[in-house]
Amino acid sequence: MHIVVTGAAGFIGSNLVKALNAEGETDIIAVDDLADSAKFANLVDCDIADYLDKDEFIARLAEGDFDDDISAIFHQGACSDTMERDGRFMMRNNYRYSVTLLEHCQDNDIAFLYASSAAVYGGGTVFREERSHEAPLNVYGYSKRMFDERVRRVLPERTAQIAGFRYFNVYGPRETHKGRMASVALHFFEEYQRDARVRLFAGSGGFPDGEQRRDFVHVDDVVAVNLDFWRHPQRSGIFNVGTGTAASFNAVAVATINACRRAAGDPPRTLAELRREGAIEYVPMPEALVGRYQSFTQADLARLRAAGYAEAMSDVEHGVTRYVESLMSVSQAPA
């Protein structure tokens, strides 16, 4: 029996494939779209049974090529560009594709674990898995919210596991291909390595400069949640996946810079010191983000914990430090 991972060459998908390998799983069908060929590098050190383009996979699924040959689908593939304006593309790629997979899994008793997003909450202040708190600010968030609604209709009469995970701000290895959509931790690292300073947004949403707060979660924790639910097929539902604690962009910048300083043998600096030395600067919010920017997110983990997931999540200081150390080891590796 095969395990399918969609978005397998992407950030979370490739980390998931690597983690499945560590569990002894190699009968993995990796599904993705390599129009951006840079993503192939994420699969180089992974063991998979086959690779299929996302359109070929859905066509072969409909033709019955994989009947009785798939035990689980980890659906991580999606367009995650929050500034994408083509709503037809977004709904076709994120919503309709997901519906097709969901229906196939239910018709064939296949576990379906999928990526949702904290973007469904929009500019709200309550981050609990309830329809009343969902008000997406962009079509990406809307596509995710629409699919979650479809799942809610199916859950009461499901024939196999359905677990949706609303990822908050994920950071960690294997995201360098994402460009401007990569995590702020990666952007801060690259900027500091290049310019010896990082730039944060000036105050917005009632928050002072750099004090906008997000729930930043390490990709290892995201993968751990997926695998834990996969091992417990009796668990179904829609769950937040974050740390449960909001951290400021200033805190991420300080953690990133101090990890770089530590690697260079330099002592850590406080936020005030880094601002005074010009290592942290603030820039105006881009016009394209005004009214579409989440200034605060913080996952309510009550439902995740009640389902039985008990592992601790990495806080920003430890998670970002570990991430920067991995980035430094790659940048210093011999060619």
Within this chain, do residues 202 and 310 fall inside the same structural domain, yes or no?
Answer: no
pLDDT of 323 > 80? The answer is yes
Q: Residue 258 — very low, low, confident or very high, per pLDDT cuts 50/70/90?
A: very high
Mean pLDDT to the nearest integer, 309-327: 96
Within this chain, do residues 29 and 133 fall inside the same structural domain, yes or no?
Answer: yes
Within this chain, do residues 75 and 147 fall inside the same structural domain, yes or no?
Answer: yes
pLDDT at 74: 98
Within this chain, do residues 165 and 289 fall inside the same structural domain, yes or no?
Answer: no
Count structural domains, the chain.
2
Within this chain, do residues 146 and 256 fall inside the same structural domain, yes or no?
Answer: no
Within this chain, do residues 196 and 264 fall inside the same structural domain, yes or no?
Answer: yes
Which residues are marked as active site?
A: 140, 178
Mean pLDDT to the nearest integer, 56-65: 94
Within this chain, do residues 74 and 88 fall inside the same structural domain, yes or no?
Answer: yes
| Backbone φ, ψ for residue 290 (5° rounding) | -60, 125
Within this chain, do residues 234 and 277 fall inside the same structural domain, yes or no?
Answer: no
CATH number at residue 200: 3.90.25.10
* Domain extent for 152: 2-169+217-243+300-314
More confident residue, 79 or 316: 316
CATH number at residue 76: 3.40.50.720
Within this chain, do residues 199 and 80 fall inside the same structural domain, yes or no?
Answer: no
Question: Look-up: residue for tokens 């430890």?
Answer: 318
How far from 114 is each of 96, 111, 123, 286, 316, CA to CA, in Å? 14, 10, 23, 31, 25
Within this chain, do residues 224 and 77 fall inside the same structural domain, yes or no?
Answer: yes
pLDDT at 181: 86
Contact criterion met (CB below 8 Å) for 55 and 32: no
Question: pLDDT tens across 125-163, in order?
Answer: 899 999 999 999 899 999 999 999 999 999 999 999 999
Non-local (6+) Cβ contacts of 24 within 8 A are none
pLDDT of 120 > 90? The answer is yes
pLDDT at 332: 55
The pTM for the full model equals 0.94
Radius of gyration of the chain (CA): 20
Within this chain, do residues 199 and 116 fall inside the same structural domain, yes or no?
Answer: no
Q: Residue 170 — very low, low, confident or very high, per pLDDT cuts 50/70/90?
A: very high
Average pLDDT, the chain: 94
pLDDT at 307: 98
Within this chain, do residues 79 and 157 fall inside the same structural domain, yes or no?
Answer: yes
pLDDT at 223: 98
